[in-house]
Amino acid sequence: MLLITGPSGNVGYELVARLATAPPATGWRVASRRPADLDRRLGDSGAQAVRLDFFDRATWPSALAGVQTLFLLFPLPGNKAARTAIIPFVEAAQEAGCQHVVYVSVFGADRARFIPHHHVESALRSSTMASTVLRCSFFMQNLHRLISTHGVDIAENHELFIPAGNGRTTFIDARDAADVAATVLRDPGSHRDTVYHLTGPAALTMTEVAEVLSAGLGYRVRYSNPSLVRFASRLRRRGVGWDSIGFMSAVYTLTRLGGNQQITDEVAQLLGRPPRALAEFVEDSAWRWRDRAWT
């Protein structure tokens, strides 16, 4: 049995679409806080939808029953969630007989202890389960997701409101991360105890990102490069939690300091084709900024 978590997220949504089109040879189950929302997407793919809330342990046993392979992500900012929910969930998976975890992580998780993924990766290494860690660079999809508010700024103010200075980001399309996850999940044994570093094809400054957005959206998007204080106060006025603001501020500060520039060829190695470019993502997603369809 294969268990997929986070099916409405950037990666999970695309991964479920791929598995529903070409179901795995094993049984598979998809876990969500709102499993009824999955019925239409799962169709007759043979998948079960099950309720799972990482913060409600009563939902864990039915989600984990018989699971041998687990696709896991970390859905929330903050080390507290790692300690109180995700790491105990990893331990529960091991107790339930799971043998392999495919985990979506971030660049720098091996070094930076303030990143919750650092602690989850460490728990995976200490477990008896095999693991495949997909350390992804920044998702292109963040440019239209409501949680980050970048979508609102781009669509309403024609402004890329990100405090990243002239730092470069190796944006990856979450569709490529999902393609890699699907490849690994179809043959986990070939990817045991491996860490992959997944990036897009280019390291872009935010000025360059604004140029790509301008070309694809048909209006000029300006990179305003706010201070951290301006960034935090605008997000706070919009009701974004301090956890998320703190996490984004740390990530963008790392970017400004040049911590994000490494490009890898691992997407191409794993998929046999180059990763999608930002221009392709903007072209495919232009309707989201136009229609304010943020998720």
Q: What is the CA radius of gyration of the chain?
A: 19
Which position's Cβ is nearest ligand NAP?
9
Residue 95 CB burial class (10 angstroms; 0-12, 13-18, ≥19):
exposed
Using CB under 6 A, which residues numbered 129 to 188 contact ligand NAP? 136, 138-139, 142
Closest distance of CB 59 from ligand NAP, Å: 8
**Residue among 59 and 214 whose Cβ is closer to ligand NAP:** 59
Termini Cα distance of the chain: 29
Closest distance of CB 145 from ligand NAP, Å: 7
| Helical packing angle, 174-186 and 10-21, nearest 10° | 50
Helix, strand, coil in percent for the chain, rounding step 5: 50, 15, 35
Calpha distance 224→136 (Å, rounded): 26
Closest distance of CB 20 from ligand NAP, Å: 15
Closest distance of CB 144 from ligand NAP, Å: 12
Structure tokens at 191: 């990817």
Residue 264 contacts ligand NAP per CB under 6 A: no
- The residue from 2, 4, 7, 16 that contacts ligand NAP (CB under 6 A) is 7
**Residue among 284 and 294 whose Cβ is closer to ligand NAP:** 294
- Residue 103's contacts (CB-CB under 8 Å, 6 or more residues apart) are 72, 73, 120, 121, 124, 131, 132, 133, 134
Closest distance of CB 12 from ligand NAP, Å: 5
Question: Which single residue is written with the structure tokens 């402004």?
Answer: 159
Using CB under 6 A, which residues numbered 18 to 77 contact ligand NAP? 32-34, 52-55, 73-75
Total of chain residues touching ligand NAP, rule CB under 6 A: 24
Task: Give the footprint of ligand NAP on this chain (CB under 6 A).
Answer: 5-12, 32-34, 52-55, 73-75, 104, 106, 136, 138-139, 142
